[in-house]
């Protein structure tokens, strides 16, 4: 669906089940920024439910990468806030409430020695494309 992501060669994914520790299964880098896509696996179906990013543009145009906690994309995925608390706490609860068997989380480094694409810019492109195809946002996204 997102051909825009094929150019990013530093990427991977991991599965997360509600009984696991998110910090242990997350294989995202601690020193890089980029975008991530979260798919839910439930009742034999796979659905993209969230598009997010880690890394902000500084006033001088440089990239600011998270340094707290683990740092980078990993820190955003594990300690970032969603559903009123850090993901490592809220994801298992929401997954149980929504009968989600597992999450399949894909991440892409968009800003490195090869590419200088700001994560938030790519996130907006992906959300807009999703919206244009489906006429709505992914289930867990609140806005653009």
Residue 33 in any domain: the answer is yes
| Domain assignment of residue 93, given as a range | 8-134
How many domains does the chain fold into? 1
**pTM of the predicted model as reported, rounded to 2 decimal places:** 0.94
Residue 120 in any domain: the answer is yes
Condensed to tens digits (0 to 9), the pLDDT of residues 40-79 reads 999 999 999 999 999 887 788 777 776 666 788 999 999 9
Residue 139 in any domain: the answer is no
Which distant-in-sequence residues (6+ apart) come within 8 Å of 127 by Cβ? 51, 137, 138, 141, 144
Mean pLDDT over 11-15 rounds to: 98
Phi, psi of 14 (to 5 degrees): -150, 155
Residues paired with residue 127 on neighbouring β-strands, in sequence order: none
Residue 15 in any domain: the answer is yes
Residue 141 in any domain: the answer is no
Residue 126 in any domain: the answer is yes
- The token pair at 21 is 């520790």
Strands (E) located in the chain: 11-16, 33-42, 45-54, 56-57, 63-64, 81-82, 85-86, 102-111
């Amino acid at each position: 669906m997102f051909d825009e992501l094929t150019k990013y060669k530093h990427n991977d994914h991991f599965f997360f089940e509600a009984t696991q520790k998110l910090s242990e299964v997350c294989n995202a880098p601690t020193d890089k920024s980029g975008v991530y896509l979260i798919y839910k696996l439930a009742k034999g179906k796979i659905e993209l439910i969230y598009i997010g990013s880690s890394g902000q543009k500084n006033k001088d145009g440089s990239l600011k990468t998270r340094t707290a906690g683990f740092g980078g994309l990993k820190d955003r995925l594990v300690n970032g806030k969603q559903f009123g608390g850090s993901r490592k706490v809220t994801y298992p609860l929401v997954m149980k409430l929504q009968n989600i068997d597992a999450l399949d989380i894909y991440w892409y480094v968009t800003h490195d020695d090869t590419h200088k694409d700001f994560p938030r810019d790519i996130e907006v492109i992906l959300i807009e494309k999703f919206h244009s195809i489906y006429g709505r946002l992914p289930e867990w996204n609140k806005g653009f």
